[in-house]
Structure 1
Amino acid sequence: MNFSYKTMGNVLKAFLVVEVVITGLLVITAFFYTYAYPIYENILIFDQALSSLNQIVWVLLIIFYLIWIFKVHVDLKRLNPYYRIKPGGALARIMIPLYNLYGMWNIYSTMGYYFKGYPALESLGRKLIKLLPIYYFLYIGTRFLERLIMEVVIINVNLILAYYVLDFISIISMLYVTKTIMQAFNIIEADYETYLKEEEELPKWAIE
């Protein structure tokens, strides 16, 4: 079985790695801005270029992520027509304001418990469920700090540093979540190929 998510998943992972590097460097420049401004003045142009690059990569990440999560749910529906979340429903859970506070959690918890229900995927399902609170609250916290920074009149340098640190950890957690989901699909694909070769009973995840 060829999964439609795979190519976009690899692109997303690559961009997440790039974003980890960029946000890590922004943490360093923010640290100098906060605690060693004379040093920061020497890297100001580099920091500005890095911030511009970060904005471009972040926009691309959002686009790739939305395509990827849609394709993941297309594949889940192909595997199991009774899977609870449709591809369009997954996008709605992410893109609709306020509803996405519930939707983000619902998408990954549903997927985690789905994986957990089958022996070959149980460990990855448990891992996804454990990662979910970390990823969710880091994401919410980062977006809250971002909004706070945009609305304050006086710049709080400590707030900016806290935002970049939180954003850095959030991107790392997102990378782990993405890799966990892709690992689960790799196992499903291997099981399906074994079934085709040996003509055994179709794995449970494909029929329940």
Structure 2
Amino acid sequence: MLTSKKAGNILVIFLQVGLFLSLFSLLGSTIMTLTPNWYDAYFSSLDDFITLFNILLWILTILVFFTWLYQVHLDVRKFDPVYPIKPTWSICSFIIPFYSLYGIWNVFSKLAAFFITDGRNAIKEGQQLRAYLPWYYLVFFMFNMINRVIEKMPDVVNALFILSSFIEALFTLICLQMTRTIISGLEALSHSTPESHGQENTDSTFAT
């Protein structure tokens, strides 16, 4: 059984809830822009609660993500003991300032390359992960840029809140899809390993 399976399933659930909350925030921002009086009367308190809950959820999601990421690399190194990224370094690649700009790309691109070149049944997942990666960076930088603009503006245009909520939902969706892709790739590897080992043993027997 894959070490990362349980944490991966929990992470998927957290990201699904996070996506729902992001879409709810998008709805709230839209209502606030179109009908501010109705928003203040009926939606404001609920929206504030959802925002607070979303912050707590993201903290838990980050903790589960790092646990899962560590375990993913434990699993990968079971398949390939010389895989270049160690479990601890995979986490460091996300949290070291400035280096993380390259480190995050390196972690995911190495995983994608591993699925494609060594994964056998996980080639599709490797290609999908590689395709998601540029979008991850693009949406991540857009989300941070919009939020910095909102923080610095004394009077924020409501349309910016709508745009921020939309980008947050899109970023959460990309994270969810990347997580599912990695889980699927590891599952494909775990299912193909016994067969491939059997094939190798058969080949060696014929060679003997």
Scaled by the length of structure 1, the TM-score of the pair is 0.89
SS of the residue corresponding to residue 201 of structure 1 reads helix
Q: Which residue pairs with 2:90 in the alignment? A: 90
Whether the 8 Å CA contact 2:122–2:186 is kept in 1: the answer is: no
> Which consecutive residues of structure 1, in runs of 5 or more, have no partner in the other structure?
203-208
Q: Which residue pairs with 2:105 in the alignment? A: 105
Question: How far did 1:88 drift?
Answer: 1.4
Residue type of the alignment partner of 1:6: K
Residue type of the alignment partner of 1:19: G
Q: Which residue pairs with 1:176 in the alignment? A: 177
Question: How far did 1:195 drift?
Answer: 4.9
> Which consecutive residues of structure 2, in runs of 5 or more, have no partner in the other structure?
202-208
| In 2: Cα distance, 1:125 partner to 1:6 partner | 18
| In 2: Cα distance, 1:156 partner to 1:26 partner | 16
Q: Is 2:195 the partner of 1:164?
A: no
Q: Is 2:87 the partner of 1:71?
A: no
Question: How far did 1:147 drift?
Answer: 3.1
Residue type of the alignment partner of 1:116: I
Whether the 8 Å CA contact 2:11–2:64 is kept in 1: the answer is: yes
Q: Which residue pairs with 1:13 in the alignment? A: 12
Q: Which residue pairs with 1:201 in the alignment? A: 200
1:60-110 CA-partner distances (Å, limit 9, x unpaired): 111111111111111112221211111111111101122111111111111
Q: Is 2:34 the partner of 1:22?
A: no
Question: How far did 1:14 drift?
Answer: 0.5
Residue type of the alignment partner of 1:142: F
Q: Is 2:61 the partner of 1:61?
A: yes
| In 2: Cα distance, 1:114 partner to 1:72 partner | 12
| In 2: Cα distance, 1:138 partner to 1:46 partner | 27
Question: How far did 1:135 drift?
Answer: 1.6
Range with bigger deviation, 97-106 or 178-187: 97-106
Q: Which residue pairs with 1:187 in the alignment? A: 188
Question: How far did 1:194 drift?
Answer: 3.4
CA RMSD of aligned residues (A): 1.6
Q: Which residue pairs with 1:135 in the alignment? A: 136
Q: Is 2:117 the partner of 1:117?
A: yes
| In 2: Cα distance, 1:65 partner to 1:71 partner | 10
| In 2: Cα distance, 1:154 partner to 1:134 partner | 30
Q: Which residue pairs with 2:50 in the alignment? A: 50
Question: How far did 1:177 drift?
Answer: 0.4
1:21-69 CA-partner distances (Å, limit 9, x unpaired): 0000000001111222122112111101111111111111111111111
> Aligned pairs, how many?
199
| In 1: Cα distance, 2:82 partner to 2:129 partner | 21
